[in-house]
């Protein structure tokens, strides 16, 4: 089975040129000009005309939470609905977070997630592990997880009593990765101080959603980010800050990098496009925008865009963790701290970053591909099989129409959640054809994927993305 994508503009993190792409089976066989007239390509089983379109790698979203248990409920997308929505939006690989429950081994957490994901996922997926307890046994088990293709571990400096680890535990885990080559990812917020503020606000009767933002000040994200990087420096290991949201945290990353620490960070579309004003919407509507770290005052956004340009931020992921407004977010009607934390986003990332990044003139198409696919693939052990278009790579391909205009809305999105954070927002750009390993998942507005067709990706150890040329 061969497919020829002809007449498009092929974009990778390195360059951009008019070229044809020939796919044979699950992999890309050739990229070049004039393939359409020659040999195998001339007799391709399927031909896709990509004139006027960009041909780009499928997106890689390294931060999703399908079916995550949180605050007495579960994220509303499972691996079937969430990965279908991802594919609709141009994302062909996710890396989700398996969770170690208290008293459980890492292997038990991993196996539970594989059981959930494997029969359902429409797209290829990897897993990180959320580690909630550190002991000698768990440290040894990290080595075995790396052998099973799970080389990245997320630790929390927030949510005391739920996820938070103390500095000693974080430092011990980091020290282990100095030997085993794993990567520690940190949710960097000062959970202790935040908890005190939350209790104080609630005692004062401040219960509305906006208080979620006011009790998690950006200074406490900056503090924790600085501490995380200092601990990694002491352990002599790289570190990756998840969902960075503020200029204080970005400064900590930039300072670390400027003194040579291999510190890396991702941000998410919600921090680039939404703000504290959304959390402060009237009534209970702000609950739709409750995530942690919280949305920041709008003037942080320009700093984050600059970070994406200067490569102090290397990745854009979503932290996709949807909860229905009507029957899940409502759990916090009288107490902002009981609102399930998380936003839907896995479907919108590709187009939002194109629209607000490339179409708006902040970043080039090549930098877009680097942020959306190539850097995540490199950092999380999927490159060069994923994250680029090259002979031998998996044929995970998006044919993208940059001129299509549409309006984001819960009435048209495919995520299983009853609202959109971007309701009514007009965007330029539409993934028209989405392929994984040569199979068409989306074409002509139709979904052709199969639950369970996605494969678990055993990832290799961390390797950093090079700085842009």
**Which residues of the shown chain bind Zn ion in the complex (CB under 5 A)?**
319
CB nearer to Zn ion: pick between 65 and 386: 65
CB nearer to Zn ion: pick between 65 and 288: 65
Report yes or no: 191 and 160 within 8 Å, Cβ to Cβ: yes
Alpha helices in 36-76 (DSSP H): 39-42
Per-residue tokens: 406: 């549409």
Q: Count, in order, helices (H) and strands (E) of the chain.
A: 15, 19
The maximal CA–CA distance of the chain, rounded, in angstroms, is 75
CB of 45 to Zn ion, least distance (A): 41
CB of 62 to Zn ion, least distance (A): 10
Report yes or no: 53 and 434 within 8 Å, Cβ to Cβ: no
CB of 321 to Zn ion, least distance (A): 6
Separation of alpha carbons 174 and 182, rounded Å: 9
CB nearer to Zn ion: pick between 270 and 374: 270
Separation of alpha carbons 420 and 413, rounded Å: 8
Alpha helices in 119-187 (DSSP H): 136-147, 167-180
CB nearer to Zn ion: pick between 20 and 319: 319
CB nearer to Zn ion: pick between 64 and 314: 64
The DSSP bridge partners found for residue 350 are none
CB of 239 to Zn ion, least distance (A): 16
CB of 73 to Zn ion, least distance (A): 16
Report yes or no: 2 and 40 within 8 Å, Cβ to Cβ: yes
CB of 288 to Zn ion, least distance (A): 17
Closest residue by Cα to residue 25 from 2, 49, 59, 48: 2
When CB distances to Zn ion are compared, the closest residue is: 319
CB nearer to Zn ion: pick between 186 and 435: 186
CB nearer to Zn ion: pick between 3 and 64: 64
CB of 110 to Zn ion, least distance (A): 17
Strand residues in 51-198 grouped as ranges (E): 54-57, 59-64, 69-70, 73-74, 91-99, 124-130, 152-156, 183-187
Separation of alpha carbons 146 and 189, rounded Å: 26
CB nearer to Zn ion: pick between 163 and 201: 163
Dihedral angle of Cα 118, 120, 126, 132, to the nearest 10 degrees = -80
For the chain, give percent helix, strand, coil, nearest 5.
35, 25, 40
438: left (phi over 0), alpha (psi -120 to 50) or beta: left
């Amino acid at each position: 089975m061969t497919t020829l994508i002809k007449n498009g503009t092929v974009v990778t993190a390195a360059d951009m040129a008019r070229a044809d792409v020939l796919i044979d089976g699950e992999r890309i066989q050739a990229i070049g000009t004039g393939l359409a007239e020659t040999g195998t390509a001339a007799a391709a089983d399927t031909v896709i005309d990509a004139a006027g379109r960009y041909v780009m790698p499928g997106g890689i979203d390294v931060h999703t939470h399908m079916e995550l248990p949180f605050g007495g409920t579960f994220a509303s997308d499972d691996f079937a609905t969430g990965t279908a929505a991802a594919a609709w939006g141009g994302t062909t690989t996710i890396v989700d977070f398996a969770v170690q429950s208290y008293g459980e081994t890492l292997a038990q957490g991993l196996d539970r997630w594989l059981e959930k994901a494997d029969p359902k996922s429409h797209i290829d997926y990897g897993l990180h592990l959320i580690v909630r307890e550190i002991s000698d046994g768990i440290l040894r088990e990290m080595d075995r997880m790396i052998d099973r293709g799970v080389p990245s571990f997320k630790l929390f400096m927030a949510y005391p009593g739920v996820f938070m680890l103390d500095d000693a535990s974080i430092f011990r885990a980091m020290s282990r990765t100095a030997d085993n080559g794993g990567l520690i990812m940190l949710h960097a917020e000062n959970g202790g101080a935040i908890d005190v503020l939350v209790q104080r606000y609630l005692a004062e009767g401040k219960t509305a959603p906006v208080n979620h933002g006011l009790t998690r000040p950006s200074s406490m994200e900056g503090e924790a980010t600085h501490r995380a990087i200092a601990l990694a420096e002491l352990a002599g290991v790289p570190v990756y800050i998840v969902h960075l949201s503020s200029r204080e945290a970005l400064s900590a990353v930039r300072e670390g990098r400027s003194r040579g620490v291999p510190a890396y960070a991702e941000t998410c579309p919600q921090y680039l496009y939404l703000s504290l004003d959304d959390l402060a919407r009237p009534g209970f509507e702000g609950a739709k925008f409750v995530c942690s770290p919280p949305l920041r005052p709008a003037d942080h956004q320009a700093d984050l865009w600059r970070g994406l340009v200067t490569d102090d931020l290397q990745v854009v992921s979503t932290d996709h963790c949807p909860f229905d407004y009507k029957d899940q977010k409502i759990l916090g009607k009288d107490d902002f701290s009981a609102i399930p934390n998380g936003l839907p986003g896995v479907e919108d990332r590709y187009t939002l970053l194109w629209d607000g990044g490339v179409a708006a003139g902040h970043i080039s198409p090549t930098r877009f591909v680097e942020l959306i696919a190539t850097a995540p693939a490199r950092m999380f052990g999927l490159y060069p099989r994923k994250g680029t278009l090259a002979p031998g790579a998996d044929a995970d391909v998006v044919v993208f129409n940059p001129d299509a205009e549409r309006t984001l809305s819960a009435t048209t999105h495919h995520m299983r959640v009853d609202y959109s954070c971007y309701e009514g927002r007009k965007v330029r750009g539409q993934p028209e054809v989405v392929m994984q390993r040569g199979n068409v998942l989306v074409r002509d507005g139709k979904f052709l994927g199969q639950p369970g067709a996605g494969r678990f990706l055993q990832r290799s150890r961390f390797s950093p993305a090079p700085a842009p040329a």
